[in-house]
Amino acid sequence: MTLFVTLGGIGMIFPASMSIGQTLGRRTPGAVSALLGGLQFLFGALASPLVGLFGENGSLPMALIMLIAVAAAGVALLALARPWQGKGEPAAAR
């Protein structure tokens, strides 16, 4: 059930984040698309072996890696986007 909820959330967040990224990089859409796609593959490739390092006996290692990734995303949002200051939005949207 937890995996279903998490993947449902990812299904809503990924398209929105891609749209925001494409809006911010509208001058070079191909480079932005490649960067976003490459980063998804990179983080997936880094997370998969980490799950295996913690054991193969249950779903707890996967849940911990997912929790760490969500926490890192939250920290990145707060540190980089700073939504309360209007950062991370295109200048035309302010």
Residue 85: phi, psi to the nearest 5? -105, 5
Question: What does the pLDDT read at residue 58?
Answer: 78
Classify residue 92: in a domain, yes or no.
no
pLDDT at 94: 52
Measured CA distances, 57 to 14, 64, 70 (Å): 30, 14, 23
From CA 29, how far away is CA 73, in angstroms rounded?
23
Domain assignment of residue 49, given as a range: 2-83
The predicted structure's pLDDT at residue 18: 84
Query: Would you place residue 34 in the very low, low, confident or very high pLDDT band (cuts 50, 70, 90)?
Result: very high
Examine residue 89 and state whether it is found in any structural domain, yes or no: no
Give pLDDT tens digits for 49-62: 888 887 777 788 88
Is the pLDDT score of 80 beyond 70? yes
Q: Which amino acid makes up residue 83?
A: P
One-letter amino acid for residue 85 of the chain: Q
Q: Is position 20 within any domain?
A: yes
Structural domain contains residue 63: yes
pLDDT bracket for residue 38 (50, 70, 90) = very high
Domain membership of residue 76 (yes or no) is yes
Query: pTM for the full model?
Result: 0.64
Say how many domains are in the chain. 1
Looking at the domain assignment, is residue 94 inside a domain? no
- Does residue 38 form part of some domain? yes
